[in-house]
């Protein structure tokens, strides 16, 4: 199969592959990444496709296998392995830490955020909560550039407030992280 024929057949499956990717990931950005990785893998392995076999099934299998491999990597990354003989350390009680200073700093930071004007605070809080710029823009019915600039100005205002309250902003980061 020539490269042009291969690309034509793969392009015909774009909508179906994108739908399948979304069904697997339940996230449009992850689905786009999965589709892109599938396209790359299919193109780089086009010599392994045997003409006369089901091209659609071959492409969907590639996507499914990539998804499964990524899922397994993610699970493995979050697994804790206890190599002790009696598993004492994994089952022992956790160390209690005093986070009073960190909690006070977080309350102070939240107070600073609350003092921002609503047009800066709301997009900033949504971005901090994990929303993407486009999601914020859609929800607030604002242009994407406006959302980005408001988040930028909110960060800038917070930085000024932190510097006026605590001086060196790097020391604030260190105190908050410890």
Q: Would you give per-residue pLDDT tens digits along the chain (178 residues)?
A: 778 888 888 899 999 999 999 999 898 999 999 999 999 999 888 888 888 889 899 999 999 999 999 888 887 777 666 666 655 555 555 555 666 767 777 888 889 889 999 999 999 999 988 889 999 999 999 999 999 999 999 999 988 888 887 776 666 565 555 5
Query: In the CATH scheme, what architecture does the domain 100-177 have?
Result: Orthogonal Bundle (1.10)
Whole-number Å distance between alpha carbons of 68 and 24: 10
Q: How distant is the alpha carbon of residue 46 from its chain centre?
A: 30
**Residue 38: which of 64, 56, 19, 16 has the closest Cα?**
64
Q: What is 3-77's CATH topology?
A: Rna Polymerase Sigma Factor; Chain: A (1.10.1740)
Domain locations in the chain as residue ranges: 3-77, 100-177
């Amino acid at each position: 199969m020539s490269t042009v024929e291969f690309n034509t057949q793969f392009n015909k499956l774009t909508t179906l592959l994108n739908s399948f990717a979304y069904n697997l990931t339940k996230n449009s950005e992850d689905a786009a990444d999965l589709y892109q990785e599938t396209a790359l893998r299919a193109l780089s392995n086009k010599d392994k496709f045997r003409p006369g076999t089901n091209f659609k099934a071959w492409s969907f299998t590639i996507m499914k296998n990539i998804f499964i491999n990524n899922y397994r990597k993610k699970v493995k990354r979050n697994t804790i392995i206890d190599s002790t003989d009696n598993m004492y350390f994994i089952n022992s009680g956790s160390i209690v830490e005093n986070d009073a200073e960190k909690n006070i700093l977080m309350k102070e930071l939240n107070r600073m955020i609350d003092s921002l004007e609503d047009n800066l605070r709301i997009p900033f809080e949504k971005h901090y909560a994990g929303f993407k710029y486009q999601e914020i823009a859609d929800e607030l019915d604002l242009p994407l550039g406006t959302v980005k600039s408001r988040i930028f100005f909110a960060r800038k205002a917070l930085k000024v407030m932190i510097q006026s309250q605590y001086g060196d902003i790097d020391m604030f980061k260190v105190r908050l992280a410890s």
